[in-house]
Amino acid sequence: MWEIIKGFIDGLRPEPRLSVSQWADKCRVLSTISTAEPGVWRTSRTPYLREIMDKLGVSDSVQEVIVMKGAQVGLTEAGNNWIGYTIEVSPCPFLAVQPTKDMAERNSKIRIQPMIEAAPTLAAKIKPARSRDSGNTILKKEFPGGILVMTGANSASGLRSMPARNVFLDEVDAYPLDLDGEGSPIDLAKARTRTFPKKKIFIISTPTIEGQSIIEAQFLETDQRYYFVPCPHCGGMQVLRFGQLRYKPGKYDNVTYECEHCTEQIQERFKTKMLAAGQWIATAPEKANYYKVGYHISSMYSPYGWYSWANAAEDYEKCKTDIPKLKTFVNTVLGETWKEEGDAPDWELVYNKRESYAQNTVSNDVAFLTAGVDVQKDRIELEVVGWGKGKQSWSVDYRVLLGNTSGENAPVWQQLAEVLNETWEREDGALLGIRIMAVDSGYNTSEVYAFCRKYDPSRVVPTKGQEAQSIMVSTPRAVDISRKGKAINGIKVRHVGISIIKSELYGWLRLQRHEDGTYPNGYCHFPQYDAHYFKGLTAEKLELKKIRGFDKYMWVKKYERNEPLDCRVYARAAANMMGMDNWNEQQWKKILLSVQNFSKKKITIVDPEINPITKKKKRSSFWD
């Protein structure tokens, strides 16, 4: 009789509430589509994620969890675990936001849908997409007691379409600062949670530029928790930092970590035990907030067998002299913001480094030419730049084409077309044409698009500068601009990260010739231009401004005419489009040898891969 009563009482007792990490260990199965380690999820593999995930559970009072991170540490999967936990354990309206709608769709197909299909408990709650009225689409998953809506931060309608108790904001540094004049996408998403007293907001991202990074600003408002791990030799607790790695450049088979307490060398095989014994410690306890916590984690913590210390050392050595690649390393491996070098070199120093080569002549070291074009109301300014091994550059000519730029048939546009058809003779006789012309579309946009659409999109590219962009050049983006009632189709614009290019350029302009007469990588060569050009080339500096209550670095003019700087920025972007930043030693040799071989035949070189043209145009120079 007692057994019957006990069974009845046990049946009335509610099941214990699972934490997010407990649910993941019990139910989550990783798909071969979304991970290199498919199978049952184990939080013990990434123990630093346990506290972060559990703060997202319904039993914890924290409402906002902020994580500034490096790559390959599992944070996105932690967010997906939270989604699965919500569907099964704590159903409610859930909003998941990716930087763009396309990324949201891709994430749904590659991560969310495979997670649902691999977990029987989740699959049982969401009807198959093929069934009628299933409520299961790519961007919407209905389940008993709730709904998961996935959208992009570039969609205002997607961010204001529903109330949500849980909000997951992934890679927020790629979000636009202002969405269609309605404000920050983060603020719009947070507004969806106002009616829920037990709301949860999870914000994660790799950072970008200091003073412009969204995740950095969010993290600095928290108690700033770091994961401290013990030294296996002395037990001293410490944060893993790249600067403590010890290795010989070029030899990465024995990379060790030097303990900051006892200076003993730690082999990476100890990392698993170190991570298991680690703990999160707030480094800014004075900012502690009962409802908001912040975490920082770098790729140095990536589990043994994922991204190793040897990988980090090798990647650093490959990029330490390449500013764009070094910036990516700092952002994605160290999980830290990149500080732009915004002080322009004195124009006189660059002016005094001018060389004696004639304008419109090309060194034998030049492999290809690009052009950067800046459009103004009454003129078009452009620079033709030659690029060689080690990213050395030679200014071939700077032109000012006078004329009203309004109207696609304005004569000045024909002048620009004639420049595009010109060729320049190298010292060895090879004739080089402009491989890529990058045209700024910030002014008279319709006229720029009309000009660019006349040419192959791989040769003439409309561009648009973006200060906060973390990459040098974006992938092509389709535009649809209506002009005089007619849609302009078939045009794709590339966004250019002007801040990173300007910082790189200013670093290059400070370089000096070696004592043996050779030049360092990135050195910029100039003919006898006048002072006006060099003042314009160094016309801007990076200054800290207060924007919407946040500190933000912005480029401001210290000299009114900055067109030479803009033209050089877009010529550099065009070189990136060529793939120059990814060429290795062998590729440079192959390209230069190809040009040398063609020079013997007097054939014009337009494309390093090689695409010859045959006509040479008469040239003139504004600076003459």
pLDDT tens digits, 365-378: 999 999 999 999 99
User: Would the pLDDT of 525 be above 90?
Assistant: yes
pLDDT for position 132 = 54
The residues, any chain, with a CB within 8 Å of residue 538's CB and separated by 6 or more, are 344, 345, 346, 347, 350, 506, 509, 559, 565
Lowest-pLDDT choice from 208-212, 272-276, 392-396, 576-580: 208-212
Orientation angle between helical segments 563-577 and 498-509, nearest 10 degrees? 100
By 3-state DSSP, what share of the chain in percent is helix, strand and coil, each rounded to 5? Answer: 30, 25, 40
- Residue 41 dihedral angles phi and psi, to the nearest 5°: -65, 135
For the chain, percent of residues with pLDDT exceeding 90: 60
* Residue 490 or residue 122, greater confidence: 122
User: What confidence tens digit (pLDDT) does each residue in 280-307 have?
Assistant: 999 999 999 889 999 999 999 999 989 9
* Residue 603 or residue 496, greater confidence: 496
pLDDT for position 593 = 80
Q: Amino acid identity, residue 260?
A: E
Start-to-end Cα distance in the chain? 108
Where residue 345 falls (left for φ over 0; alpha for ψ -120 to 50; beta otherwise) is beta
| pTM (two decimals) | 0.73
Residue owning tokens 């003019």? 557
Identify whether the C-beta of residue 575 lies closer than 8 Å to the C-beta of residue 588.
no
User: Would the pLDDT of 559 be above 80?
Assistant: yes
pLDDT for position 9 = 54
Buried b (16+ CB within 10 A) or exposed e, 358-375: ebbbbbebbbbbbbbbbb
User: What confidence tens digit (pLDDT) does each residue in 381-438 have?
Assistant: 999 999 999 999 999 999 999 999 998 889 999 999 999 999 999 888 888 999 999 9
E strand or H helix at 25: helix 20-27
Where residue 315 falls (left for φ over 0; alpha for ψ -120 to 50; beta otherwise) is alpha
- Residue 392 dihedral angles phi and psi, to the nearest 5°: -65, 150
* Residue 425 or residue 555, greater confidence: 425
pLDDT for position 543 = 78
Mean pLDDT, rounded, of the chain: 87
Strands 423-425 and 431-440: antiparallel
User: What confidence tens digit (pLDDT) does each residue in 191-211 have?
Assistant: 999 999 999 999 999 998 887
User: Would the pLDDT of 341 be above 80?
Assistant: no
pLDDT for position 617 = 42
pLDDT for position 5 = 59
User: Would the pLDDT of 609 be above 50?
Assistant: no
Position 611 confidence tier, pLDDT thresholds 50, 70, 90: very low
E strand or H helix at 147: strand 146-152
pLDDT for position 325 = 84
pLDDT for position 211 = 76
